[in-house]
């Protein structure tokens, strides 16, 4: 099939972040870890996954704690929520630091008056491509953020969460299939599956669910920066003829955070236009 013949999935109102809220999270208190956004080109940057989730959750009626290692990025997201009539607080925290994680969970619980849900939208990929380029210090840096950090967040948050709560890990299809050529990134994202299932098992004792959203290629500032460093990434085939938007990832997370998935736990949902299922 030529590029001219390839089907391109139209952008819906949800895809563009234009759909109205429907009250799906009314009264909920949600912590979004990684709710800020990197800046590549402020004039043209699309919405990132973390910001889209924070805005969407607030639009659906939740009070949102926006946590990020960048104070300015977290403030910007919280301010956008306030401008849209939502309720948000900002927390500066680096989840690679254990003390920051403990403080973040304390602040979120206190400022929101409790905790009904948490999304872990964190992930870095550093170092050269392939095993031959792996350096132990870079390997440790990636796992500290991508795996150790989420573990610490769950360790601190699970005892504080209300019964019936939900934890959503934002992983990547790199944890399901080879392809990023960054061994530490792939390994850390694959390991999130084991962590998620353990959290789901322990959480079931108090009705707290845990699931993974695994995005494919997404048009975000971070994704654009990755493509700048590896142009072949942007040329990867897409069954729907385009990359996902941050809003489309946010709606998948909304499903897991809301009671619409009340009987779903320990599962991984790939949002990738079918790349991992039919390629």
pLDDT tier for residue 268 given thresholds of 50, 70 and 90: very high
Q: Is 119 left (phi over 0), alpha (psi -120 to 50) or beta?
A: beta
| 103 Cβ contact list (under 8 Å, min separation 6) | 93
pLDDT at site 1: 47
pLDDT at site 127: 85
Q: Per-residue pLDDT tens for 146-177? A: 999 999 999 999 999 999 999 999 999 999 99
Check if 185 is active-site: yes
Q: Where are the beta strands (DSSP E) in the chain?
A: 29-33, 63-68, 87-92, 117-120, 166-170, 209-215, 218-219, 244-245, 268-271
List the catalytic residue out of 7, 185, 251, 263. 185
| Residue 10 DSSP symbol | P
Q: Per-residue pLDDT tens for 227-258? A: 666 666 666 667 898 999 999 999 999 999 99
Nearest to 160 by CA among 262, 60, 31: 31
Which residue has 């008056």 as its token pair? 113
Q: Per-residue pLDDT tens for 143-154? A: 999 999 999 999
Higher pLDDT, 63 or 5: 63
pLDDT at site 229: 62
Instruction: Spell out the domains of the chain, with CATH numbers in brackets.
Output: 29-37+45-278 (3.40.50.720)
CA 226 to chain centre: 17
Q: Per-residue pLDDT tens for 70-103? A: 999 999 999 999 999 999 999 999 999 999 999 9
Q: Identify whether the C-beta of residue 192 lies closer than 8 Å to the C-beta of residue 146.
A: yes
pLDDT of 128 above 90:
no
pLDDT tier for residue 5 given thresholds of 50, 70 and 90: low
């Amino acid at each position: 099939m030529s590029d001219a013949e390839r089907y391109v999935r139209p952008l819906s109102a949800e895809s563009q972040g234009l759909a109205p809220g429907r009250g799906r999270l009314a009264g909920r208190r949600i912590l979004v870890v990684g709710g800020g956004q990197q800046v590549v080109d402020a004039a043209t940057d699309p919405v990132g996954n973390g910001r889209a989730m924070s805005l969407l959750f607030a639009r659906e009626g939740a009070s949102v704690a926006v946590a990020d290692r960048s104070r300015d990025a977290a403030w910007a997201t919280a301010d956008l929520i306030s401008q849209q009539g939502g309720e948000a607080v900002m927390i500066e925290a680096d989840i690679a630091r254990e003390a920051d994680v403990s403080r973040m969970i304390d602040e979120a619980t206190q400022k929101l008056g409790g905790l009904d849900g948490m999304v872990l939208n964190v992930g870095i990929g550093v170092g050269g491509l392939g095993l031959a380029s792996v350096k132990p210090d870079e390997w440790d840096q990636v796992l500290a953020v991508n795996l150790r950090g989420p573990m610490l967040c769950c360790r601190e948050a699970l005892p504080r969460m209300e019964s019936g709560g939900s934890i959503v890990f934002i992983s990547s299809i790199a944890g399901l299939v080879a392809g990023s050529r960054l061994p530490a990134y792939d390994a850390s994202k694959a390991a999130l599956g084991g962590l998620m299932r353990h959290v789901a098992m322990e959480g079931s004792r108090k009705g707290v669910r845990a699931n993974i959203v695994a995005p494919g290629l997404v048009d975000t500032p971070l994704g654009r920066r990755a493509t700048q460093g590896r142009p072949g990434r942007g040329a990867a085939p897409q069954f729907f003829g385009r990359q996902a938007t941050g809003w489309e990832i946010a709606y998948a997370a909304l499903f897991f955070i809301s009671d619409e998935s009340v009987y779903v736990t320990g599962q991984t949902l790939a949002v990738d236009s079918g790349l991992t299922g039919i390629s």
